[in-house]
Amino acid sequence: MIKVGIIGVSGYAGAELLRLLLNHDEVKVVSIEARSYQGQPISDLYPSFYQVCDMICESDEDVLQKAELIFASLPHGLSEKYAKYCDENNKKFIDLGADFRLDSEQDYQEWYKLDYHEKALHDKQVYGLSEVNREKIKTATLIGNPGCYPTSITLGLYPLLKEKLNLNKHIIIDSKSGTTGAGKSLSEDTHFPKCNESFHPYKLGTHRHTPEIEQELSKMANDDIQVTFTPHLLPVNRGIVSTIYVDLKPEVSLDDVYQIYQNYYSQEYFVRVLPKGKIADLKFVKYSNFCDISLHLDERYHRLIIVSTIDNMVKGAAGQAIQNMNIMYGLEETKGLKMVPPSF
């Protein structure tokens, strides 16, 4: 039984971690932390846990002492000290925040306005995109869990870039997310009167996931990939739809692309390449760890349109973190994650 602790359980991703881990038969959640709710049961904050899990929120020191694997679901800039403790005490650490996603400190400084304080730790970090970095994850002790937008985008593009089917290095990405992606802190954009019955882009050209997306796509392509990434806020609780536009090489057909995606993902339980003619829809991945991908061709310009959908709280956060845990411990990768999305 893996003794697990969660630091930051009061946030949406932290609460989702707890919800999913309670159904994992190889895990015992031994301690949870929520600084603003210390001494209170988690069911006071999230009534859905009432009489299912009434664990008391403890201190971060309690979590670090009691658990052998620590999940941190915190704002950027707060995870390094916990990762350092785990590194020094032979514990595993999975960070759902942004502190261990970027290879370059310069990128972190530019986009997050912070420095790396424990620089040696970043040589040990493994980017936790489960389907792509599985072999590295198996032996890792420090995982930087991918962002939600990057997960939908990188899985959507991986086979195409790996096989160099793209005509040029610039890719246009149009992504839409439910409001949970913004976290619990209320902002003008997520305030109900503003976001209800609304749909709008935000952080045009400045979203912090941009360097992460370019970093991982460039690795896949073994070339310098640039993206124009525009996120939008959907008036729904959860889910991401990424629509990706790529010019194909003239000799590459949609049938070629479809076959390559099938070859790459046919053995991947959580990535579903939909039949030709079907369109991926966030409704049918909600509450699940699936990434649904559909492939389409704009024949006028020989441009591939990829639609990639995930639940931002599961495959885009807590579910992928648990998938990474399963890989790290040599468990069946789907354990605790085989929930079927609702049909309506």
Ramachandran region, residue 140 (left: φ > 0; alpha: ψ -120 to 50; beta: rest): beta
Q: Which residues contact 186 (CB under 8 A, 6 or more apart)?
A: none
Look-up: residue for tokens 């792509």? 132
Amino acid letter at 302?
H
Instruction: Give, rounded to a whole angstrom, the gap between the first and last alpha carbons of the chain.
Output: 35
Q: In whole angstroms, give the CA distance from residue 329 to residue 271.
A: 21
- Compute φ and ψ for 282, nearest 5 degrees: -60, -25
Q: What's the gap between Cα 119 and its chain centre?
A: 23
Active site amino acids:
148
What token pair was written down for 237? 């609780």
- The beta strands (E) that lie in the chain are given as 2-7, 27-33, 57-58, 69-72, 92-95, 126-127, 142-144, 170-177, 200-201, 226-233, 240-247, 271-273, 291-298, 303-310
What token pair was written down for 125? 């970090």
